Homo-oligomer: A and B are copies of this chain.
Amino acid sequence: MTKWVYAFGGGRADGTAKMRELLGGKGANLAEMSAIGLPVPPGFTITTEACTWYYANERSNPPELAAQVAAGLKAVEAEVGAGFGDAANPLLVSVRSGARASMPGMMDTILNLGLNDVTVEGLAKRSGDARFAYDSYRRFIQMFSGVVLGVEHHHFEDILELAKEDKGKHLDTELTAADWQGVIQQYKKKVREETGEDFPQDPQAQLWAAIGAVFRSWMNQRAITYRKLHGIPGEWGTAVNVQAMVFGNMGEDCATGVAFTRNPSTGENSFYGEYLVNAQGEDVVAGIRTPQHLTVAAKQAQKSKLPAMEEVMPEVFQQLDEVRGLLEKHYRDMQDIEFTVQQGKLYMLQTRGGKRTAPAALRIAVEMVDEGLITREEAVQRIDPASLDQLLHPTLDPKAPRTTLARGLPASPGAASGKIVFTAEEAEAQAASGERVILCRIETSPEDIHGMHAAAGILTTRGGMTSHAAVVARGMGRACVAGAGEIRIDYAQKQLRVRDKVLKAGDVITLDGGSGEVFAGAVPTVEPELSGHFATLMEWADKARRLKVRTNAETPLDARTARSFGAEGIGLCRTEHMFFDASRIVAVREMILADSEEGRRKALAKILPMQRQDFVELFQIMRGLPVTIRFLDPPLHEFLPHAESEMEQVAEAAGVPVEQVRTRAMKLAESNPMLGHRGCRLGITYPEIYEMQARAVFEAVAEVAKSGDTVEPEIMIPLVAWPKELELMKAVVDRVAGEVSKSGGIAIKYLVGTMIELPRACLMAGEIAKEAEFFSFGTNDLTQTTFGLSRDDAGNFLPAYEGKGVIEQDPFISLDQEGVGQLVRMAAERGRAARGTLKLGICGEHGGDPASVVFCHKVGLDYVSCSPYRVPIARLAAAQAALAPLERDV
């Protein structure tokens, strides 16, 4: 015979925490607590299989169910010492749904089931509190009628409001037992009017109606939609939990409370919680009465005058404190618990893993290792890598007052205050004179990079989480709020407008890049504190991981930051970012706009010494580590002069008429620059550019070698689609290396490889690996081309895609493992097959996304590279990937 009903309570249980599929999350947890001897109000769980049976059999119950429920109920009666429907000593129960996964939209809870016109009097007598009994009964009628009978809520609200008016009272708590009896009469009348039947007085009928309502709620529209969106199969079904009621509001020997087994804010190992004497759970959170501390220590620390539970109910507190220890030992994690004390007896109503701040998570994990509760590996696996982000940036002082101006997307974490500026030039100028500024732009472009670097924060009114502003800001560790569409920026007037408010350049605003909020004026911020726990945990993580973690960095500042965060080299140095500096851009433009190789060489000669000096600095910071240098990559149009004055500057520098500059600029304009004349296509058409860059790299290597520093440059040729492209560019690099090596009398060690960022490069990886000594997956561009999706333009429709359930996550944020991942895997396999020593890495934005890092580990890459502020996240994610069991389908 199928077992449809699993009992728990009295220190025993039929089920365990592992039976989530059969008992649902709630049922499994109640069983577990009961089984380990905690004082759980007794009850039973009707299995999810019963629900499945219900739907498979025209919404009827399995034949054996009635008998099993009856037996379950009998056990509860025995345990509690009361009778279901007993006039003198009635057993009351709660009925709750509980699916395998937490699922909003389904029927939640019916309390006090078992009350009727007769048992309510028994409850009044036994509790000695008639007001409590009638209040409980009217609540039950209201809940049951709404959820099971479908009577709309507002009917009951109306009756209650009128009753209070009649009596001249304002609060529910002012109503007396007699008042509630009047309300109950009217409630029952309304139920009869609305349903055509009397409110059910038979507790058995109440119970079965409630069970049926839970089953039916599994198939209501909201639940169906929720399941569809979250990919939960309809076949799972829901369990039903029936449990004896306990009351914290039956007198001064009753209480109710919530607690964390450790401090969820700091992680300190102290009992942390609140309770109220003679109260219900909702009273603790409702804010009408001031909750009291559990411990004397906490009471003193908070300078509270209200007595602590430790003082008021020392024995029960003692018992609760033991439960706390038991739970932590059992679950081996900090717990969030709910309890009720009924007439001096403690009942545990719930336990679950407690939410905590990132610093608390770190402290708890590290201290639990010290306490011998968990292993170091478990500690590493306990921390959500993404949560480290909040540790590394300043945050708003939570106590500071603030005035919200507008809201955008939380594009790059951290909080920053500063004066409004509208141009990159202004940002640089003001920052140079010591001002903190917020750069406000409709959107940003590569020409703004130096202004973004100079600013404390960046605000844009257009663009998404992966817009240029967002990506660059995250890379630089600048706070950024992107796409704040309510704000209108007027560059000409040098002002921004939010509805009727106008702010001018120089006005101060504050950004919270973690929430996307924009505030007027300066809101104080607090600096991050990297505790010893952080260092300890990262050390454990580093021992566990196989993947190396490098950083994407071009500036000495970024390189230093990254190294302090544990970067093991540079995985992507975007040389073009070195070209936007105001002191260089004219020479760069001169080079790009030259009509001839001779003209280009003339301009390149001006750039060479600057570029070489860049590398010298980077190499010194990264001494002993590998540095991957990507040669010039971006669409040329990003460098083109726009303003007339810029054209004139270039014409003057090149010594040509401005008309010639203008014509050439027009000729270079492209309809789809992302798919245009960029990457190694520049190197193929103008080999002298890559030749200059190779010379700068190798001469810098020779320079730092003089002071005994070594560095392993890895020259990366971008955007290779044809193996021949790499062959031709490698020949240029090798030739220059030979020349520098000879003239400098120094042996230069270096690698030449390519960025794998086009589908064709993945398909041809076997051929390409014959030339390449390393592959670095440029998954930003690979995602763009695999999806045919421009990162800059996707903001117009990706939100609709998330809304309609086409995608769950922006593929520019977390690597599309199903699609793009196939290409990455293919390229890794084909590349390694052709060259066993091939070094493999990733340098797209995904290198700092924990899920993507796990994927990189599984695919067998050697390293990930990410922006400096994501280095710790990547280190931790890499460790978790190494510790997690390898999934079968990989």
Contact = CB atoms under 8 A, between A and B. Distances in A.
A797 B670 CA distance: 12
Interface in A441-488: none
B670 A793 contact: yes
A219 interface: no
B793 A676 contact: yes
Interface string A774-795: 0000000100111111101110
A671 B675 CA distance: 11
A443 B675 CA distance: 19
Contact of A671 (B677, B786, B790): B790
Nearest to A799: B685
B788 A819 contact: no
Contact of A763 (B676, B728, B781, B823): B823
A804 to B, nearest CB: 6
Contacts of A759: 759, 785-786, 788, 819, 823
Given A806-B684, A806-B728, A823-B763, A721 B800 contact: no
Contacts of A833: none
A725 interface: yes
Contact of A787 (B758, B787, B806): B758
B786 A760 contact: yes
Contacts of A822: 763
B760 A787 contact: yes
Nearest to A801: B684
Nearest to A635: B793
Interface in A623-679: 668, 670-677
Contact of A676 (B670, B721, B757, B790): B790
A724 interface: yes
Given A786-B785, A822-B763, A793 B724 contact: no
Contacts of A794: 676
Interface centre among A672, A673, A675 (most CB of B within 10 A): A672
A681 interface: yes
Nearest to A636: B796
A763 B762 CA distance: 12
A569 B225 CA distance: 42
Interface string A801-818: 100111100000000101
Interface string A318-356: 000000000000000000000000000000000000000
A684, A785, A794 pick with most chain B CB within 10 angstroms: A785
Contact of A793 (B675, B760, B804, B820): B675
A673 B676 contact: no
A721 B785 CA distance: 11
A673 B796 CA distance: 12
Contacts of A722: 801, 806-807
A806 B685 contact: no
A764 interface: yes
A210 B368 CA distance: 91
Given A804-B684, A819-B760, A671 B671 contact: no
B807 A681 contact: no
Interface string A757-773: 11110011000000000
A840 interface: no
A411 interface: no
Contact of A797 (B681, B724, B800): B681
A544 interface: no
Given A797-B684, A800-B684, A800-B685, A790 B725 contact: no
A325 to B, nearest CB: 49
A324 to B, nearest CB: 47
Given A758-B787, A789-B721, A674 B677 contact: no
Nearest to A796: B677
Contacts of A671: 673-674, 790, 792-793
Contact of A788 (B668, B675, B792, B806): B675
Given A785-B786, A786-B785, A677 B793 contact: yes
A675 B789 contact: yes
A719 interface: yes
A788 B790 CA distance: 11
A618 B724 CA distance: 46
A787 B759 CA distance: 7
Contacts of A728: 804, 806
A683 B240 CA distance: 43
A583 B674 CA distance: 35
A758 B758 CA distance: 12
Contacts of A676: 790, 793-794, 796
Given A681-B797, A822-B763, A675 B725 contact: no
A721 B804 contact: no
Nearest to A687: B804
Contacts of A763: 786, 818-819, 822-823
Contacts of A789: 675, 721
Contacts of A757: 788
Interface string A488-504: 00000000000000000
Contacts of A721: 787-789, 819
A50 to B, nearest CB: 33
B818 A764 contact: yes
A672 B786 contact: no
Interface string A715-758: 00001011011001000000000000000000000000000011
B685 A797 contact: yes
A719 B789 CA distance: 10
Nearest to A728: B804
A672 B805 CA distance: 25
A441 to B, nearest CB: 15
Interface of A: 668, 670-677, 681, 684-685, 719, 721-722, 724-725, 728, 757-760, 763-764, 781, 784-790, 792-794, 796-797, 800-801, 804-807, 816, 818-820, 822-823
Identify the 9 closest CB pairs spanning chains A and B, nearest first: A675-B790, A672-B790, A676-B793, A759-B759, A760-B819, A670-B793, A758-B788, A672-B674, A724-B806
23 contacts: A670-B793, A671-B792, A671-B793, A672-B790, A673-B793, A674-B790, A675-B784, A675-B788, A676-B796, A677-B793, A677-B797, A724-B805, A724-B806, A728-B804, A758-B788, A759-B785, A759-B786, A759-B788, A760-B787, A763-B819, A763-B822, A764-B818, A785-B785
Given A674-B790, A763-B822, 15 more contacts: A670-B790, A671-B673, A671-B674, A684-B800, A685-B796, A721-B787, A722-B807, A725-B806, A759-B759, A759-B785, A760-B819, A763-B819, A764-B819, A785-B786, A785-B788
